[in-house]
Amino acid sequence: MRNKSFKAARFDKKYNEPGLRHHSNFMDLTHASGFLLACYFILRGRPENFFVMFAVTCSSFCKINSGTSKRSKCNSVGFDAHPSVQNSNMLLERSVLLIYLVTGLGGTWFVEQPNQSVLEYYPSFRKMIMDLYNIRGRDAVYDTKWWMCHYGSATPKRHYAYANTEKIHLLNQGKLYMKVWSRRMSVASKQWSTTTLDAGIASVNTEAELGVLDEEEARLQRELEELEAAQSNPDNAAATWCASDADAALSEAPTIPASTQELQHAGLFTAPTAGPDNAIDVDDKARPRGDGSAAPPSDAPAVDSKAPGTSRRYWEEGNKQEMTLLLRDCNFCKDVFLQRLEKIITKKEKYTMKVAEGWYSVSNRWRGSPVQILRRNLYDDADEYWVTTRETGSRKETLAVEASAPVEIPEGSFKGVSAYHKSKASEASLVNASSGSQTNKTCTILRKFSDDLMAKLGKIRGLVKDLGKNYDGDDVAHIEVLQSWVVKMEEQHESCQLVLSEGEVNAKKYLDKKDTETTKRAPPKNNNARPKKASCSSAVRAARRVIADIGERAAASSGGLLELSKCREHDAENDTHRLFVERLHLSLEKWVPLSSLKHNGQRLTVLRLRDWLQFLVDKSCWHILTGLVRRDPGRERAILKTFWEKYRCTHEDHPIFSMAREGLVSLERTAPLLYHGDEGRGRRRTPFLVSSWSSFLGRGSAPADKYRKEHGVRNEYIKHRTNFRGHSFTNRFFQAGWPKKVIEEEGALGLLVQQCKDENDFVLHEGVFDRRSGEKFHACILAVTGDWQWLVKSGKLGRNYNHVVKSTKEAANPEGICHLCQAGQRGHSFEQLDTRTPSWLSTFLRQDPFLHPRSPLADLPHEPGKAATIFKFDVWHTCHLGVCKALAGSGLALLSETFPGRSKDARFEALSNDYLHWCAQNQRQALLTKITKETVGWDKNSSYPKASWYKGSLSTTMCEYIEAVTKDAEFEDELLTKCGEAVQALNQFISGLYQGEAFLDSATARTLGEYGLRFLRRYTWCVTRAHEQKRCLFLLLPKFHCLHHITLQDLVLPSQTSDWVVNPIVHSVQLAEDYIGRNSRTSRHTHPSTTTQRVAERHLQAAFTKYVEAQYLVAEGDS
């Protein structure tokens, strides 16, 4: 820069090495002093007219260092634990800050990297580019690529650069012609050696000796005198100089052959000229022209202006790029160009001239004639002079001789050609096979179907929204129908995504097997493989074929095969049921008989709770209700006794304690139960209701077991675990499975819950007897659990989520949304989430929530005046399928804005890749093949984002991902920072509940409750700020009020007065969802007229198998 007369400041850490006492390097940008010095240099630049070049360490960002740095296009930050990666990241991030400063001052900046560098994918760098683009438009940043061999590099080496000026496109010299470049490199490498280059550098360095300087000063004195004389007679002066001094200069200087590339690598200027036979006027050559380039020789020998035939042939052979560069090196002088071209083609001789020249100040050279060689520096107002210090030349002759004999190629020259062709053929076959594989075709079809389903889903949502806004209230029925279809389509889309994600992992080993492999060897046997389901009639036909092969005498000892073959094929269901249940006893129906309820002339099958409890007592399985794996009567009684003591801490007025005082029940032999109901997907995707009972206690949960193992917690003799382990058929007790057609009939649901109430009264007051010991066992239903819809239907709750105000106009007298309080009514907003004393807290249980006639479940045993508390909010439905979906939707929408991309789809694609990469690193099941704006319902900025998935585990994974990305990170958008804090608080709240036991001590309950309240405060802050910024983010749902009840009234407030608090997680129903799904699938394979009976029968048969597998029962054949 200084040689070109620009005022420049050098800045590189190699210019300074700090001593032992100095820990900071002012020439290192990663140090504080270096960063301040760089800012100082930039601030000293001329406004709107200065240039800054940033040379970030490329070795850390290149592919060759990826093994250490762990950098890639998806993870350009790399492994920050390595000091080299950390320093490189700091260097780049501080360079980005300086680029902001240069741009603000109107300067020009330039960043260059090798082509394999992933620097351009670094988040801070991409964000800087997007900021400049958003502020200044398309002309804010430019990028280009070029080949370094066009600038004398020994290798092609592709590079790229970013700058805020379009001038960087001049670096691109066009396409790389490998033949021309390789020919040029091979000729140069044959003609010049490294030893000659070293000799030339040594000669140039010895020029600084004092004796040489004295001689140069004398020679310059003579030149200046001749230049003064040239003013009076220029022709004679030029001739004299050319005849005497030029030859003397060439004779005195050593002749050192060196290639053009070698001299450029050594930092020396290379000027190709003609040889000594064709003398050049050095004075004319040394004078700069108006454009800064050297003038062509004035006395160059004249040549024919017509291009010779050799030049034309050389052009037609494809050497156009090389000839273009040669013409540029000759300063576009046609005569010199043709002369040099002919010498290159015929390889007769070659000349290389070394000219050391430049602008020097008065301190370096004394002032001479000011004619055309003097100028004034624009920066420091000093005189500078153009001086040629020394010239050296070299000539090399090449003789071309034709070969006298054929050239023999050495053996082994083409050894690797066949292997190369084989590898290329195998790669092509793999590409063709993969492109047409059955797996890819199936995945493509399924992906297209899923995308089409989501598009239609968006249209139906838009139609529902339009009907609600622009039409009368008569269209409520149509809206409800459309909403039901929306739910069904969302479930279908979710199942497609699940199948697609699992299929991409597992399908190839089944769909892409070649036929040759299957014929060579048989597949390995898998004794644990799950048998395929078959109809009863097909089982009868298979038994008959076996009998025909082996005969009746051999089949008689098979244990039922002969009897199965005698069943009627047209009535196989009844016959096989009689065989398996009545004769072979492969069902629990022997101990849990079917019962029925009459309704509108039809018999609806149900199972009784008293029969289940009698079965558990008779088969010594009462330990299942206490959470034990094996029978232990003493421990069972101790567990139940301690349970009721802890339960009394928060439910002192429950009627069961008065019954115990009166001697009506023994708490040591009284099991606490829960009643659950929910709808699954039955025949033709219609709802199918399944109701059941379960124990309050169980074998724990996987998070709790992991927590106990990590912290070294030993098993206690008396334990109260949650009920999330084991097969659902062994710890859930079936009541009924009824299709939608039955449930919609008036009075049918009331009949079902009345049967539950009657069964509870029987087992609580009458009990069941142990025929061996004569002891009486009791049970009591303490709560009704399920999703909010089940609570409303079974309890006939008047205040529910359906009454939330959906318009901006306030209703005259809103009915409220909560059965526990008056939230949602006038003066009691359910949106008061950021306070410990909301207005609705004083209205708790003040108003009766039940419709008339009252639900039978409202008369289950409860504390006086607290019948509404029987119906418990479910943490899993509240959080995983409610709160988390709204939170994750807004969190993913905000996170997408931090990823590079010019469109919303591009940013979500980058977010999706990062999420999948995180799942692979942390061993999480992604469940989604990609995250799109439709996934979070944010196709338009005017829509509030809310996740569309129906997998609770996916909500957990998404919240963990958002926490991992936002934890200890800083964002410009404060909403994203607070959203990250909210996610962290919610994750701590939920994980703490799952890691706990059925009862929490007061300190743990208070801590977890505070986490929940902190989440509600952060979320409320985000809602308020988004509303102030007029951004459609952070949707408020009625389920946030449910979470407020759980955190405040179930945890924080009871922990202030009680030593033990019931863990709200015991009311969660995710294991019951599995139970619902299994029985609903059974209903899809039965006739509609006998669904209630067949589902109950097949459930008892399947439950028998699970009891035997768990070793709770022993099959008759095994005894």
User: What integer is the mean pLDDT of 909-930?
Assistant: 93
How confident is the model at residue 183, as a pLDDT? 59
How confident is the model at residue 269, as a pLDDT? 37
User: What integer is the mean pLDDT of 267-276?
Assistant: 38
Strand partners, 1051: none
Q: What is the DSSP string of 1067-1110?
A: G--HHHHHHHHHHHHHHTTS-GGGHHHHHHHHHHHHHHHHHHHT
* Each residue's pLDDT tens digit, 440-481: 667 777 777 777 777 777 778 777 777 776 666 566 777 777
How confident is the model at residue 1115, as a pLDDT? 73
CA dist list (Å): 616 to 595, 622, 645, 674, 743: 18, 5, 24, 17, 30
Residue 222, CA atoms < 13 Å, CB-side half-sphere: 12
Domain assignment present for 860: no
How confident is the model at residue 393, as a pLDDT? 54
Least confident of 329-343, 509-523, 777-791: 509-523
| Calpha distance 285→766 (Å, rounded) | 121
User: What integer is the mean pLDDT of 317-322?
Assistant: 59
Q: Which residue has the higher pLDDT, 351 or 228?
A: 228
| Calpha distance 591→586 (Å, rounded) | 11
Percent of the residues in the chain that have a pLDDT greater than 90, as a whole number: 43
User: What integer is the mean pLDDT of 55-77?
Assistant: 85
How confident is the model at residue 171, as a pLDDT? 87
User: What integer is the mean pLDDT of 1094-1105?
Assistant: 93
- Shared domain for 1082 and 1006, answered yes or no, is no
Please tell me the pTM assigned to this model. Answer: 0.56
- Shared domain for 573 and 640, answered yes or no, is no
How confident is the model at residue 547, as a pLDDT? 80
Do 787 and 874 form a contact (C-beta atoms < 8 A)?
A: yes
Name the maximum alpha-carbon separation found in the chain: 141
**Runs of H (alpha helix) within 44-107:** 66-69, 83-104
With a cut of 90, say whether residue 541 has pLDDT above it.
Answer: no
User: What integer is the mean pLDDT of 1057-1061?
Assistant: 95
Domain assignment present for 426: no
Q: Which residue has the higher pLDDT, 5 or 785?
A: 785
Percent of the residues in the chain that have a pLDDT greater than 70, as a whole number: 72
- Shared domain for 77 and 209, answered yes or no, is no
How confident is the model at residue 572, as a pLDDT? 76
Do 626 and 620 form a contact (C-beta atoms < 8 A)?
A: no
pLDDT band at 668 (very low <50, low <70, confident <90, very high): very high
Q: Which of 512, 528, 562 is the last residue of a domain?
A: 512
- Shared domain for 381 and 235, answered yes or no, is yes
User: What integer is the mean pLDDT of 535-553?
Assistant: 80
User: What integer is the mean pLDDT of 154-162?
Assistant: 86
| Calpha distance 965→973 (Å, rounded) | 14
How confident is the model at residue 361, as a pLDDT? 53
Q: Which helix (H) or strand (E) holds 1001?
A: strand 999-1001
- Tell me how many domains the chain contains: 6
When mean pLDDT is compared over 294-308, 378-392, 427-441, 1092-1106, the highest value belongs to 1092-1106
Domain assignment present for 934: yes
Mind spelling out the 3-state secondary structure of 402-420? CCCCCCCCCCCCCCCHHHH
* Each residue's pLDDT tens digit, 672-703: 999 999 999 998 889 999 999 999 999 999 99
With a cut of 80, say whether residue 533 has pLDDT above it.
Answer: no
Domain assignment present for 12: no
Domain assignment present for 377: yes
* Each residue's pLDDT tens digit, 856-887: 999 999 999 999 999 999 999 999 999 999 99
With a cut of 90, say whether residue 483 has pLDDT above it.
Answer: no
- Shared domain for 971 and 1040, answered yes or no, is yes
pLDDT band at 182 (very low <50, low <70, confident <90, very high): low
Q: Which of 339, 370, 397 is the last residue of a domain?
A: 397
* Each residue's pLDDT tens digit, 29-51: 888 888 888 898 888 888 778 88
- Shared domain for 1062 and 1078, answered yes or no, is no
* Each residue's pLDDT tens digit, 614-639: 999 999 999 999 999 999 999 999 99
User: What integer is the mean pLDDT of 221-249?
Assistant: 52
How confident is the model at residue 208, as a pLDDT? 43
Domain assignment present for 670: yes
| Calpha distance 912→501 (Å, rounded) | 14
Q: Which helix (H) or strand (E) holds 158?
A: strand 158-163
pLDDT band at 179 (very low <50, low <70, confident <90, very high): low
SS3 677: strand
How confident is the model at residue 297, as a pLDDT? 40
pLDDT band at 905 (very low <50, low <70, confident <90, very high): very high
How confident is the model at residue 1099, as a pLDDT? 95
With a cut of 90, say whether residue 789 has pLDDT above it.
Answer: yes
How confident is the model at residue 238, as a pLDDT? 40
- Shared domain for 256 and 327, answered yes or no, is yes
Domain assignment present for 15: no
Tokens 């003013």 appear where? 231
- Shared domain for 758 and 617, answered yes or no, is yes
- Shared domain for 115 and 202, answered yes or no, is no
How confident is the model at residue 472, as a pLDDT? 62
pLDDT band at 260 (very low <50, low <70, confident <90, very high): very low
Domain that holds residue 779: 588-797+1069-1109
Length of the chain: 1119
| Calpha distance 951→497 (Å, rounded) | 11
With a cut of 70, say whether residue 220 has pLDDT above it.
Answer: no
- Shared domain for 278 and 136, answered yes or no, is no
How confident is the model at residue 452, as a pLDDT? 76
Chain-centre distance for alpha carbon 741? 44
Quote the Cα angle for 644-647-651, to 5°: 120
Do 457 and 487 form a contact (C-beta atoms < 8 A)?
A: no
* Each residue's pLDDT tens digit, 997-1039: 999 999 999 999 999 999 999 999 999 999 999 999 999 999 9
How confident is the model at residue 501, as a pLDDT? 66
Do 914 and 899 form a contact (C-beta atoms < 8 A)?
A: yes
Q: Which residue has the higher pLDDT, 310 or 804?
A: 804
**Runs of H (alpha helix) within 231-274:** 234-243, 245-252, 260-265
How confident is the model at residue 75, as a pLDDT? 84
pLDDT band at 226 (very low <50, low <70, confident <90, very high): confident
Which string of b and e fits 507-516 if b means at least 16 CB within 10 Å?
Answer: bbeeeeeeee
Domain assignment present for 2: no
How confident is the model at residue 577, as a pLDDT? 75
How confident is the model at residue 1078, as a pLDDT? 93
With a cut of 60, say whether residue 20 has pLDDT above it.
Answer: no
- Shared domain for 462 and 335, answered yes or no, is no
Q: Which of 146, 176, 206 is the last residue of a domain?
A: 176
pLDDT band at 959 (very low <50, low <70, confident <90, very high): very high
Would you give the DSSP letter of residue 698? B
| Calpha distance 54→2 (Å, rounded) | 18
With a cut of 80, say whether residue 513 has pLDDT above it.
Answer: no
Strand partners, 388: 357
Do 878 and 1039 form a contact (C-beta atoms < 8 A)?
A: yes
Average pLDDT of the residues of the chain: 79
* Each residue's pLDDT tens digit, 1040-1055: 999 999 999 999 999 9
- Shared domain for 792 and 882, answered yes or no, is no
* Each residue's pLDDT tens digit, 375-414: 665 555 566 666 554 445 555 444 444 445 554 555 555 5
Least confident of 212-226, 742-756, 926-940: 212-226
pLDDT band at 491 (very low <50, low <70, confident <90, very high): confident
User: What integer is the mean pLDDT of 119-147?
Assistant: 88
Backbone dihedral angles phi then psi of residue 56, each to the nearest 5 degrees: -75, 145
* Each residue's pLDDT tens digit, 420-450: 555 555 555 444 444 445 666 677 777 777 7
